[in-house]
Amino acid sequence: MDETTGGINELATFAGGCFWCMVAPFEQLDGVIQVVSGYTGGKTDNPTYEQVCSGNTGHLEAVQISFDSGVLAYESLLDTFWKQIDPTDEGGQFHDRGISYQTAIFYHNESQKQKAEASQKALGESGRFSRPIVTPILSAVTFYPAEDYHQDYHASCSLPYSMYRKASGRDEFIKRYWGQEKAGLKEDLKNKLSTLQYKVTQNNATEPPFQNIYWDHKGEGIYVDIVSGEPLFSSLDKFDSNCGWPSFTRPLDPEAIKERVDRGLFMKRVEVRSQEADSHLGHVFNDGPKANGLRYCINSASIRFVPKEKLDQEGYGEYSALFANQ
């Protein structure tokens, strides 16, 4: 990858802990051309993932971003970086500890250095964190792209990535310190989702019955959250309730959903939401056909179907066994 400074195409390099979690926040920015996961800052040529994780090479997991500086300002990349990390932790990031998970900004020219220093100073003076900012600002050195299976891991292996990210503690930290930025995240979702999907998942709307994609869908596979990709329901538990919306007798995992009392429309109902993304899914009723007597009435706009033939390809391979005899 050629390094260009002061032109249309520039490079930016950030270490923010596990590089799996640092790709998506930058990919969604207008002006970003490519985000590559890799290793930098160490003493070994062409290190492997195992070597880096050992801590002996001195490399940090990092992402290198190619961006159009005519569209996207470096300051915007810095702002995104600070909002993904704990800049007060010098021993790693969240549940990941050790040298390879330390944070750093690697500048590629004097302008980037000055902007990084100014942003670091402003963050420190903002009072947002009670402890000092310890993320170093360093001159960029050789960047080695990581192995192919690490590239775009959040997309190619969305289920294990989702589980890892949830367990890491990163999202809890971001919510605690940047919770007021939720409006910005909502704006991102408006660009990602259709108008109906946004209204249903974010504003608790209900789509029309019998006029949605999955109400009479018969395919074999699983249904995942349209926002986060977390697995929610299986076609094996889907039944025709004649209500005009997809209905299920149970979720794939009870921990994947949460319930709360909904007193809207002058009635008391039990709303169903996804655990990770907090998407509004629908409601659960006590008029189901099986032993548990439950009917999870779900909006098609809240979910996406993954056919059994593509479970491995999309990172949901652990659910393939459900359909082994189908």
Query: What spatial distance separates the first Cα and last Cα of the chain, rounded to whole Å?
Result: 47
Q: Are strands 247-248 and 303-307 parallel, antiparallel or unpaired?
A: unpaired
319: nearest Cα among 273, 252, 249, 256: 252
- Provide the pLDDT for residue 190: 80
Tell me where in the chain the CATH 2.170.150.20 domain(s) lie.
194-323
- Distance between CA 221 and CA 174 in Å, rounded? 33
Is 212 in contact with 304 (CB distance < 8 Å)? no
Is 159 in contact with 316 (CB distance < 8 Å)? yes
CB atoms within 10 A of CB 205: 15
- Provide the pLDDT for residue 314: 84
Is 59 in contact with 100 (CB distance < 8 Å)? yes
Handedness of CA 99, 89, 185, 7 (dihedral sign): negative
Is 232 in contact with 223 (CB distance < 8 Å)? yes
Homologous superfamily assigned to 9-187: Peptide methionine sulphoxide reductase MsrA (3.30.1060.10)
Over 70: is that where the pLDDT of 170 sits? yes
- Provide the pLDDT for residue 157: 86
Over 90: is that where the pLDDT of 35 sits? yes
Active-site amino acid positions: 18, 297
Span 103-161, pLDDT tens digits:
999 999 999 999 999 999 999 988 888 899 999 999 999 999 999 999 999 888 888 88
Q: Indicate the average pLDDT of the chain.
A: 90
167: nearest Cα among 90, 96, 100, 229: 96
CB atoms within 10 A of CB 137: 16
In whole angstroms, how far apart are CA 275 and each of 75, 153, 250, 310, 323? Answer: 33, 21, 15, 24, 25
- Which residues, at least 6 apart from 81, have a Cβ–Cβ distance to it below 8 Å? 14, 16, 105
Task: Please give the residue that has the higher pLDDT: either 277 or 151.
Answer: 151
Over 60: is that where the pLDDT of 1 sits? no
Hey, which CATH number is domain 194-323, 2.170.150.20, 3.30.70.600, 2.40.30.110, 3.40.50.720? Answer: 2.170.150.20
Is 283 in contact with 209 (CB distance < 8 Å)? no
Over 50: is that where the pLDDT of 3 sits? no
Is 19 in contact with 150 (CB distance < 8 Å)? yes
Please state the pTM of the whole predicted model: 0.58
Span 77-109, pLDDT tens digits:
999 999 999 999 999 999 999 999 999 999 999
- Please list the alpha-helical segments (H only) found in the chain: 20-27, 49-54, 74-82, 110-125, 153-156, 158-168, 170-178, 182-192, 195-203
